[in-house]
Structure 1
């Protein structure tokens, strides 16, 4: 019997910074707000529920931090509503003392058919944008506003 394939979004990027610095960029909202969301209710800690906000889009998401393995992995449940909750794993691998390979995996989608295809595409694009912004911020100190500028027609003036 064949095992059913589980739809998984996987996005990855090498960041030219030490693993501890890259890991901390996702734990500490003072850093994360430079490349992803605009506001957070706190630092990531195992068992804690955190609210991330994208103020320009007037949306927020609740995440439940399931697991943190320092400098290796962060695992969260995203949203926590029965029809939209997915798991997101952030995996960190030190390639050298000064380079880190980050993989973001998103899985546990509840949609089917065209709705599933759309959810996978949206998440793949979103997490790729996050990694691009992370790279620009950590390597060059440039805040590209990639997430902020992704959907300008949605923003209210």
Structure 2
């Protein structure tokens, strides 16, 4: 049995704006990561850094379907898929799915924590794209070197 982590939210912006908010590091560094070596593009590999961690995370196996989905690996055991659905009112539903880990106690803890993490990612993206607010700034400073 494989575990999955899921989260979703509706953002009051057109799908093209939300898509750029995810693939463009100039946007992602405003609400999610602190550094990126480049734009998310199919077949490319980038490195992400988060403000609260010293580690750098390679983002591999990137697969982009413009304005529809973004898929990548950042944990060798899982695949992250972000799907975008534009609604008639020009808002966008964003769904995040991360799956692949085998069911065991440690991975169950991972799935629960990641579901919360993805919900936070979506809330931060919504606040930034809709209102220009950086919710993540300083939010996880307590985790440094812990």
Larger gyration radius, structure 1 or structure 2: 1
Poorly superposed stretches of 4+, deviation over 6 Å: none
Select the structure with the greater relative contact order (CA < 8 A; seq sep ≥ 6).
Answer: 2
5+ residue gaps, structure 2, are none
Does the aligned pair in 1 maintain the 2:45–2:62 contact within 8 Å? no
Aligned-partner SS, 2:143: coil
Partner of 2:9: 13
5+ residue gaps, structure 1, are none
* Residue-pair matches, total: 145
Q: What is the Cα-based RMSD across aligned positions, in Å?
A: 1.6
Give the drift of 1:96: 2.3
Are 1:120 and 2:116 matched, yes or no?
Answer: no
Give TM-score scaled by structure 1 length: 0.85
C-alpha distance after superposition, 1:116-148 (max 9, x if no partner): 1111011111111000000100111111126x4
Equivalences for 1:46-65 in 2 at 5 Å?
46-65=42-61
Partner of 1:149: 139
Give TM-score scaled by structure 2 length: 0.91
